[in-house]
Chains A and B, each alone.
Chain A
């Protein structure tokens, strides 16, 4: 075994070690050192994720913890899909950390270690090949997110956190019940093994397996903001601190990813009677999420709330694509997922910068005094807005185009195109209104405030740069997304011996 064979474990190991190190005496309370270690760990995570993507081009790789034999040991699996998600998480982590390092990290204790544990949970959830470990990594990312959410304190945050924590704790209980049912029926929790066994279940077990699968859908729906379970999201995202909100942009995507891994790969087309159990539910609920998100966008009273509702819209769009469940729709969804995560994070950061310079008016859409750096923030806002609405030449346009193409078959088009296009229109309306209010409905002298911190500006620019980059590299990227999701639709094979 060379070091490269252990590469899969690195995205979990790096934040774990960094997180522990950051709490030790040499680093604790040393602001500069903490920021440097956090930055270094994020860069290392990005590098190892890129190396993993290169490695997984040759096919799926499995890593057995402690060298226990599959399917009994704990498996980490890296394929193109998980590598892409890891890179996305690493880019987001890097930029959110940069933004936080400009001063937001000092508003409460333990920001940096918690940030690392958050990354640990996210990376682990993307890499795990075992349903129970998915639960464990979910809990790690959740408990870190609970604390990050109230970072900085304040009544609004505490209140949002109460809802978020209680809902997710109940969700965890449901997750465990679902897992126990699945274990009782399948006799395994290894995802690859489950996929192989799904078509061969005894007929008396089918109802149980189905209820287990749908219970898991409830849990992932809670994370991914599926309609009746999405009410926690706008307030949580709008009230938390800016870098945390930017990092949370990937949290709904963890739910989407898990639905892919469980409901597309395990209970997908090959699962016999259980094939596509989730689709019947995802169709109406995903559609309603999109519509409800659009209405909420139109009703938003502040910029951060508006962005949070745009996150709900993108979640609804992705869930609809998951409901169609063809390779083409999954590839389009993956492209749109990358785009919407990066742009949502960028918008949260821009909203944070605007809030800083607006004094008492904060991010509310009301008349106020002009910002100190009207021009700079205005340009950033326009670019981010163009990308999220889906106007050319930015990645939102390509993403929406791919979505429309993937859903153009027959009756699907009539159901999906209208809400999808109207959601774009609603976003355009509200972002125009927000932009004109914030930048033009001003009176008096400029608000006295600090200029934008260079680190924060760098973070926003990096995220915004990704959007044109995704258009320029559109060809290779769409090919990559297609080959990445094709793994989800492969006919499952028996898991006997996966160790090399």
Chain B
């Protein structure tokens, strides 16, 4: 596994990604991120806090679909409470993530695990959007008694697993052989 990831990273070194990373490294924002010792840890703390807010909100929606939380609430009420926190949480996650990429462009852009993380992130967003849409189509008639079908419940846990995979990749960007 380590060899495969290293070979992918090594291949990336020969692509235009390296030129982009070098260009990013010279931007004023990148220099700003590295000139103060605390900028990167602060960006990382904001990143983790927004992941916490979004992750907890997704968990509450998944639990509602599984009939394990939000008793007495319709699916729509649960979604109205938590989906905006996921959406805005993701905005802060992306912005703080971008500032971390700008701080260390080569370490991130020339890294197989970083791109696996990006693919997993896009997959998670697409699966979540279609999941919410399909539940909305059926949940309204059931009202407060709504509980998801077997497929809806399983997809909810798949979304949680994708979040965990993204977190795993996020941590291993720092440790994978490059």
> Is B a genuine binding partner of A?
no
